[in-house]
Amino acid sequence: MTDLKNKKKLKGCMFLNRSYVKWQHALVLDLKKRYGIEEWCAYGYGKGAYEINKIQNDIKYEPVLIDELLFVKAHKEVVDEEYLSKKEKEYGHPYWWQEFTSERQMSVNWPRQFYNTFNPTLNHHEIKQQFQIRIREIEKMLDEVKPDFVFLADAGAMGINILYYIAKKKGIPTVILSISRFSVFLVLQTIFLGLLILLKKYLKILDQKNI
């Protein structure tokens, strides 16, 4: 029999995203109830993520990296070209720039510019500052907490994408919850674009069968 008292307690890292924070936290509580996962770190966007430890006492997220605060702090970063080059070779796929283009606020000035015309709000040096602080702080969080898994939901921006690729490189399992726009259909996957790959395979099967 398994000695439950000596069984390792899992640690998780949750993505807390704006209006989704309530149900993402509810998911954490469910995982705590089912599997006893009580230790969590988090990467978040918005006020809900920033205040998560103030509005509830069930889980102490520690640390909580808030993307907007990193954005502000980045302006004081002294860009280390050697460091960025090293980290791009270590974690990039093979480069980092696609993570910038996925960041709507910085690359297309969303929501002020609603239609997605490439119009960066930062210059080249400032973009490097944004990369540097996120890479360093995310790597620090993962190295200190050593989570057993990272859970992402409806992810797709610079910070959260960097978290995904660093976690994967470090061998930390990542689970991605993709939310469809159809009723209650959900997909759990372990790679970005997994749903797109699945859709392409499905369309190929339909084509072969002339459906």
Tens of pLDDT along 48-70? Answer: 999 999 999 999 999 999 999 99
- Residue 136 contacts residue 144 (beta carbons within 8 Å): no
| Contact yes or no for 102/161 (Cβ under 8 A) | yes
101-158: pLDDT as tens digits: 777 666 655 555 566 666 677 888 998 999 999 999 999 999 999 999 999 876 678 8
CA torsion sign for 88, 129, 171, 48 is: negative
- Residue 196 predicted with pLDDT over 80: no
Under 8 Å between Cβ of 70 and 86: no
The answer to whether 153 and 15 have CB atoms below 8 angstroms apart is yes
In the chain, pLDDT over 70 holds for what percent of residues?
A: 72
Mean pLDDT over 161-169 rounds to: 93
d(CA 65, CA 70): 8
Look up residue 57 and give its DSSP letter: S
What share of the chain in percent tops pLDDT 90?
A: 55
Q: Tell me: the pLDDT tens digits for 129-142?
A: 999 999 999 999 99
Return the number of other C-beta atoms located less than 10 Å from residue 5's C-beta: 5
Q: Outline where DSSP puts E strands in the chain.
A: 11-17, 39-45, 61-66, 149-153, 174-179, 186-189
Architecture of domain 9-68+80-190 in this structure: 3-Layer(aba) Sandwich (3.40)
- Residue in the block written with tokens 């990296």: 65
44 pLDDT exceeds 80? yes
**Strand positions, DSSP E, 46-163:** 61-66, 149-153
d(CA 15, CA 156): 11
Q: Which residue has the higher pLDDT, 103 or 29?
A: 29
Report the alpha-carbon distance of residue 196 to residue 202 in Å, rounded: 10
Count of Cβ atoms closer than 10 Å to residue 166 Cβ:
22
Q: Which pLDDT value is given to residue 167?
A: 95
**Cβ–Cβ under 8 Å, residues 115 and 140:** no
β partners of residue 151: 14, 175
Q: Which residues have a Cβ under 8 Å from the Cβ of 197 and sit 6 or more positions away? A: 191
CA 175 to centroid of chain Cα atoms: 10
